[in-house]
Structure 1
Amino acid sequence: MGTCIICGSSTDGRVCDTHEEDVAFEFRGSSPDELTRGRYYKGTIDGFADFGVFVDVGDSVTGLLHRSEVPGRLESLAWDAGDEVYVQVTDVHDNDNVDLGWSIRQDDRDFRGHLVDDPDADSNAELPDDEDSETSTADGGTPVTEDDAEFERGDETESAPTEQETESDSEPETAEPDDSDDEPELADASDTEDDEDVERVAVANLDDHVDETVAVEGELASVRQTSGPTVFELADETGAIDCAAFVEAGVRAYPDVEAGAVARIVGEVERRRGELQVETEDLVELDGADAQAVEARMEDALTERATPEDTELLADDDAVEAVVDDLVDAATEIRRAVVEARPVIVRHTATVEGYVAGTAIERALLPLIRGEHAREDAEYHYVDRRPLDDAFYTIDDATGDVTSMLEAAERHDEKHPLFVLVGAGSTSESTDAIDLLDIYDADTVAIDGGYTDDAAGADVLVSPTVAGEPPVNTGALGSQLAALVNGDVREDLYHLPAVAYWADTPGAYADLASQTDYSADTLADLRDAIALEAFYQSYEDKRELISDLLWGEADDSLIEHVSEQFRERLDTELATAEPHLEVRGQDGVAFETLDVDAYTHQYDFPPVDLLLDALYRRRDRADVLVGVSGDEIRVRSDGAVDVRAAGETVADELPDAGVEPRGARDGRIEFLSGEQEAVVDAVVDAIADQLA
């Protein structure tokens, strides 16, 4: 039996089942069936094809990374033949074909350890052997020459305490110098400067102190155990730096110090493979006034960096102007997450408004993330846009998000993300979901141009209706927020608000779009195309496809092709539904009702909400359109109808019908399907009373 290099538990080999995917393997076998499914392997690009990338895993096995596995276009990878990459083995077929999966981690340092998968060894998870006098480095197993070995053995450092020494409060012993001329001598503790006298240097200025002993102070963003040293990622008010502390291969240094602690690290600044790192000589966890001083310094600098410099709106809109302070607060929280290396999860409705707003925020975030993080895949790691199935952020959504969040924290020491809820999360239906996030200290920002009730409890809420203003198109509101998040992309956003409107685009947003090369017809085509793509695979963000549509990264043929499909499908469904609209009058109010289940094609485009919107826009003979689908009623009017109030009235009148209003005044009404006829009549009566 061995011990896991990450958690120290007993296991067959060098890594336990729980942490196997946190390790990158070097394959030394000769046959595909000797690979271990689910593991991540270091490979070499062998060649390219239209359908994917061929990767050599080891010397004798080649697998295929299919283009469907790549989060983007193959051309965007910037890979060349011979490049070293990391891939996951997902399957090995009977014909020896090897299926490979994408790895978001494409750097040695992204893994918590490096091991060997050798079928001829005692186990298939072993430490790299010391061939040709090589040893392991802080990046978890990359071979270096004996001349560099002092980095691993702690040359001129004080050895980090072992767990036994820490428990007994004894002083850590320094290693005795070896008599060999080939081995560097370890420094005696008396040769080391008093830690308190060592100059503190901001992380951003370490480049000027290479080969010098300095002190850095800040919060430990992560702690990862490699097959060599323990690597502490320390973040101060200016940036982050990796600090490597070595006891012996695979042994945790400073075992009582965890991520989130405020610490002072003294060590020598080194440049390894082009990147700066600190060779740790001493690490002290700060508390009391010392920790408070560091935290205050970081907080002040962080607030200054996160606050938008330019708070000018994209376009004049009185309703948006009323919540500009809330927009600034939301933008600050989003920018702060980027600086703190917290992922931003954008959850938006699968509608045109939701896509426009969510994509605008994503567009603003991408350059900030690229500027803040050096890793090539940072833009896929630190922002994730996830469309919602419904108009609410539900407990089902939150459970999935919390599960992913906790797994990322456990496996990769990832910080909890900031959740940005777009067009959702602003009514009582989202209270339980947001409370679940709050239990795990995950912050939330909700932005909604429609009617809200401020009941869900988001940390920051942007809602014109809460401020006493009329509703605003959520796409326009989200675009205004994106401009505050990153002023450098303002011009990229000029046409987005106009795309989000189905009719009667306000003059300010029409004027804004006129400053671009997009014609009114093209903007309408874009809206239609986004509406169609929002429907299909609604749970996927479709980042590259949406970007191609909204920012002209493809020729006009794509927009024309998709928008034409939209119109054909919508016209077909309208022609099917219109003859079955039932007209009725009630107290001088003209109603049209539609049995959606009976007179539309289920599970096909368009969705019910979009169909009812289109029907109401195309007809002028009714004051109110009522759509009945299964156990739900949706209402379309000129905004005068309070759907929630009508639902509450009917719930009192029909206590056995299971009537429950959902959402705010423009929401929907749910009921028991067996009571459909009585509920529809009661809803019509309640609405007629409102409009009388």
Structure 2
Amino acid sequence: MTSDSVGDAADDDGGDTVVYDLAPDCTVDDVEEDTPYLATVNGIVEYGVFVDLSDSVSGLVHESKLSGTFAVGDELVVELENVREDGDMSFETVDVGEYTIQQVAHEYRPTATTALDASLGEQVHVEGVVTQIKQTGGPTIFQVRDEHGVVPAAAFESAGVRAYPDVEVDDVVRVTGIAETREDATQLEVGDLTRLDGDAADRVQSRLDDALETWAEPHEVEPLVEWDAFEKLRDDLRDVARLLRKTVIEGRPIRVRHHADGDGMCASVPVQKAIEQFIGEVHEDPEAPRHLFKRLPSKAPFYEMEDATRDLNYALEDRAKHGQKLPLVLMLDNGSTEEDVPAYQTLAHYDIPIVAVDHHHPDPEAVEPLLAEHVNPYTYGEDYRITTGMMCVELARMIYPDMTDELRHVPAVAGLADRSKAEVMDDYLTLAAEEGYEEDDLRDISEALDYVAHWLRYDSGRHLINDVLNVGCDDRERHEELVDFLADRARGEVDAQLDAAMSHLEHEDLENGAHLYRIDVENYAHRFTYPAPGKTTGEIHDRKVKETGDPVITIGYGPDFAVLRSDGVRLDIPRMVTELDEEIVGGGVSGGGHLVVGSIKFVKGRREEVIDALVEKMAEADIDEDISSMSALSDD
């Protein structure tokens, strides 16, 4: 029993007697002997009266203990006389004269969500914050988070009717109910759900906040390889890991958008598995990983308005239908450029947090005011040699380190997929070799990923991608056979595409000494098949680099777009795009990417003017045969 004074009826100053008034939720455990309580008559029988002290504390005052007559609803002061073996309670009236009332609150002893399995079939109390409210055709399901996890609490009013309609997401509550198992998961069968306020809510919230800060802290993991350039990014990645862990604990969904190429999948798949494993640790609901995490590819290397509006619409529907919070959006291998700004501004109207981990050339002034976290090697004077896949393997390990062993080969796949010339590529290849992957095996995985991503289009292809990358795959032999098949198919279709296209390749020598190759991929390459225009341009470019051994620029163009690849020429494609947009009024020029790899869009009627102006700028670029390049990104 919680009160200022319990036991002696008289106060210390000899004044009025204190009589205790039990709160409605008080139980027999809150009743003490030799203590006066305020009671209300609820029934009259020949041998006495029945009284209530609270909703669950009641008993008999025998006629022999009564003086005077009473009616239902009358108040009287009683003390506990006896509690029988069957739990029945008897009281006796006491004459206290003048008295003052002191409220008594029930003293709850909360049970941790992690201890519910040990209390199955018993009544327990859980104090926490509501993270989701979902109305089913039967009960209302409240997801409640305490310091240790999130548990579903099922409250039934009537079929399909919202129970406890005054309780909302983020309210601090106390749930009293029976711990039970349903579909191999622990949940609470709600007997009572009380919204806390004032000091009671503050105490619970403070407890949760302290636990959250500790729980969200990322794991300390040693990097897979020693790399000074990468160390500059480690603190930023820790900040992202902390935010993602906190997001999971708070019950907010995470929606990942990633570039639909090899590096994008090497980035997103490890992060997906790490977050889903952590969700499984935090949430009792076995369906929580499916509901709280979604991964979708983006064809463009930026967040298109089409993708953003779809994501926003789905998020609003999930909030309306399932009571979910609006998600955190995680951008991987895209999200750093000015082209992302309109999509980000759209989400900003709903205060949706956005995080970008990317290695495309960034526009920090444009995007960082709209981002909760931004990790990009360019902000530290590094470049795209540090691929997003390399960063995200370390990010995944900070979130859930137990999966390290199945990720050791992934950074090498990411590096080969994006043609990284990083000085540690040999270290990553060695790491992969220790897991049984030779360099040719890794190149096959990269090729297979690109091939599958092309045909999946806007589908995540979760299980197929996992099998190709061999993350979360339980059959190494099937993985190897699948990769061999897909890589052979991909190379065969690339060869067929180039057989048709190479004879239509245009060549000229630029004034700076670079070779320029152009190909009309709209008219001289197969459409709507593999490889797509970006991949086709990249494959042509690779062949010409190998054939000439000289600086090479390749342009693959269509009616209103061009994809660009360069080796040995110091280009700055984002800057060139900005200049072209200013110089060609009405050209509708946009685009970007990496410094030497990118894409441009323009209006169809100004194509010739845009490409000619682009070539002039390329001819003025400096030659640098030592420059690192990426020659086969799969930008479409």
Q: TM range, normalised to the smaller chain?
A: 0.7 to 0.9
Residues 202-217 of structure 1 aligned to structure 2 (within 5 Å): 202-207=112-117, 215-217=125-127
Report the structure number with the largest CA radius of gyration: 2
Q: Is the 8 A contact 1:347 1:385 kept in 2?
A: yes
Q: CA deviation at 1:661?
A: 4.0
Alignment partners' CA distance in 1, 2:225 and 2:484 = 28
Alignment partners' CA distance in 1, 2:509 and 2:450 = 33
Paired AA for residue 463 in structure 1: N
Alignment partners' CA distance in 2, 1:242 and 1:487 = 27
Structure with greater contact order relative to length (CA < 8 Å, sep ≥ 6)? 2
Paired AA for residue 315 in structure 1: V
Q: Is the 8 A contact 2:154 2:187 kept in 1?
A: no
Alignment partners' CA distance in 1, 2:121 and 2:480 = 55
Alignment-derived partner of residue 375 in structure 2: 462
Paired AA for residue 599 in structure 1: Y
Paired AA for residue 277 in structure 1: L
Q: CA deviation at 1:376?
A: 4.1
SS in 2 for 1:614: helix
Paired AA for residue 522 in structure 1: D
Alignment partners' CA distance in 1, 2:42 and 2:349 = 50
Distance 1:217 1:507, change over 3 A: same
Are 1:528 and 2:455 an aligned pair?
Answer: no
Q: CA deviation at 1:481?
A: 1.7
Q: CA deviation at 1:561?
A: 1.0
Distance 1:438 1:518, change over 3 A: same
Are 1:619 and 2:544 an aligned pair?
Answer: yes
Alignment-derived partner of residue 602 in structure 1: 527
Alignment-derived partner of residue 488 in structure 1: 402
Q: CA deviation at 1:398?
A: 1.1
Paired AA for residue 690 in structure 1: A
Alignment partners' CA distance in 1, 2:621 and 2:41 = 85
Distance 1:507 1:230, change over 3 A: closer
Paired AA for residue 442 in structure 1: I
Q: C-alpha offsets along residues 123-149 of structure 1, whole Å, 9 cap, x if unaligned?
A: xxxxxxxxxxxxxxxxxxxxxxxxxxx
Alignment partners' CA distance in 1, 2:193 and 2:561 = 64
Paired AA for residue 496 in structure 1: V
Alignment partners' CA distance in 2, 1:561 and 1:482 = 29
Residues 132-147 of structure 1 aligned to structure 2 (within 5 Å): none
Paired AA for residue 558 in structure 1: L
Are 1:327 and 2:237 an aligned pair?
Answer: yes
SS in 2 for 1:345: strand
Are 1:636 and 2:636 an aligned pair?
Answer: no
Residues 48-127 of structure 1 aligned to structure 2 (within 5 Å): none
Q: CA deviation at 1:525?
A: 1.3
Alignment-derived partner of residue 68 in structure 2: none
Q: Is the 8 A contact 2:563 2:599 kept in 1?
A: yes
Alignment-derived partner of residue 271 in structure 1: 180
Distance 1:679 1:247, change over 3 A: closer
Q: Is the 8 A contact 1:223 1:258 kept in 2?
A: yes
Q: CA deviation at 1:513?
A: 0.9
Are 1:677 and 2:608 an aligned pair?
Answer: yes
Distance 1:326 1:236, change over 3 A: same
Q: Is the 8 A contact 1:244 1:280 kept in 2?
A: no
Q: CA deviation at 1:357?
A: 1.0
Alignment-derived partner of residue 129 in structure 2: 219
Q: Is the 8 A contact 1:662 1:670 kept in 2?
A: no
Alignment partners' CA distance in 1, 2:294 and 2:352 = 15
Alignment-derived partner of residue 537 in structure 1: 456
Alignment partners' CA distance in 2, 1:593 and 1:357 = 32
Distance 1:383 1:176, change over 3 A: farther
Paired AA for residue 670 in structure 1: K
Alignment partners' CA distance in 2, 1:582 and 1:651 = 25
Alignment-derived partner of residue 57 in structure 2: 191
Q: CA deviation at 1:251?
A: 5.6
Structure 2 unaligned residues grouped into runs of 5+: 1-22, 27-39, 46-50, 59-102, 624-636
Alignment-derived partner of residue 148 in structure 1: none
Alignment-derived partner of residue 312 in structure 1: 222
Distance 1:338 1:652, change over 3 A: closer
Q: C-alpha offsets along residues 297-331 of structure 1, whole Å, 9 cap, x if unaligned?
A: 22221221122222322222333211101111111
Are 1:352 and 2:281 an aligned pair?
Answer: no
Are 1:393 and 2:393 an aligned pair?
Answer: no
SS in 1 for 2:457: coil
Alignment partners' CA distance in 2, 1:176 and 1:268 = 26
Distance 1:298 1:658, change over 3 A: same
Q: C-alpha offsets along residues 572-625 of structure 1, whole Å, 9 cap, x if unaligned?
A: 112222222212233233222222212111111111222222222221335321
Alignment partners' CA distance in 2, 1:188 and 1:312 = 58
Q: Of 423, 427, 440, which residue of structure 2 is paired with 1:508? A: 427
Alignment partners' CA distance in 2, 1:229 and 1:635 = 57
Alignment partners' CA distance in 1, 2:388 and 2:281 = 28
Q: Is the 8 A contact 1:449 1:477 kept in 2?
A: no
Q: CA deviation at 1:350?
A: 1.0
Q: Of 495, 512, 517, which residue of structure 2 is paired with 1:571? A: 495
SS in 2 for 1:491: helix
Q: Is the 8 A contact 2:151 2:283 kept in 1?
A: no
Paired AA for residue 441 in structure 2: T
Alignment partners' CA distance in 2, 1:220 and 1:463 = 35
Q: C-alpha offsets along residues 159-180 of structure 1, whole Å, 9 cap, x if unaligned?
A: 9xxxxxxxxxxxxxx9989x9x
Q: CA deviation at 1:196?
A: 4.6
Q: CA deviation at 1:445?
A: 1.7
Q: Is the 8 A contact 2:505 2:518 kept in 1?
A: yes
Are 1:651 and 2:561 an aligned pair?
Answer: no
Q: Of 284, 288, 296, which residue of structure 1 is paired with 2:195? A: 284
Alignment partners' CA distance in 2, 1:248 and 1:358 = 42
Q: CA deviation at 1:239?
A: 1.9
Q: Is the 8 A contact 2:296 2:458 kept in 1?
A: yes
Are 1:437 and 2:368 an aligned pair?
Answer: no
Structure 1 unaligned residues grouped into runs of 5+: 1-155, 160-173, 180-184
Q: Is the 8 A contact 1:198 1:214 kept in 2?
A: no
Residues 11-50 of structure 1 aligned to structure 2 (within 5 Å): none
SS in 2 for 1:283: strand
Q: CA deviation at 1:293?
A: 3.8
Q: CA deviation at 1:414?
A: 1.8
SS in 2 for 1:514: helix
Paired AA for residue 588 in structure 2: G
Alignment partners' CA distance in 2, 1:233 and 1:651 = 51
Alignment partners' CA distance in 2, 1:521 and 1:218 = 53
SS in 2 for 1:197: coil
